Amino acid sequence: MLEAYVTGRVIPGSESMIKEKVARLKGVKKVSIVYGEVDFVAEVEVRELAELGDLAERLRRITSIIKTETYIVRTED
């Protein structure tokens, strides 16, 4: 399994709607609305990198999301 965190900025006032939409996406385990440089953090778990790419594409199609960044969790050796 591949774990990652996806952060995003959204159009002000759309946070609740975005949280609901992102939470419904396959691979998303949890979504939190946060304060700071970004507006949400999504905890993601997928089987392979290609699935993570598909998830990123689906996020880009949500109109109120302005920007996303993905952070892949490093596995310990």
**Where residue 12 sits, what CATH number does that domain have?**
3.30.70.920
Domain count along the chain: 1
The answer, yes or no, to whether residue 76 has pLDDT greater than 90, is: no
Per-residue pLDDT tens over the stretch 14-64: 999 999 999 999 999 999 999 999 999 999 999 999 999 999 999 999 999
**DSSP tag of 28:** E
Radius of gyration (Cα) for the chain, nearest Å? 12
Cβ-contact 22, 28 below 8 angstroms: yes
Q: Give the per-residue pLDDT at 72.
A: 96
Q: Does residue 59 lie in a domain region?
A: no
Range of the domain at 41: 1-45+64-77
pLDDT category at 77 given cuts 50, 70, 90 is low
Q: Torsion angle, CA of 49/35/15/21, rounded to 10 degrees?
A: 20
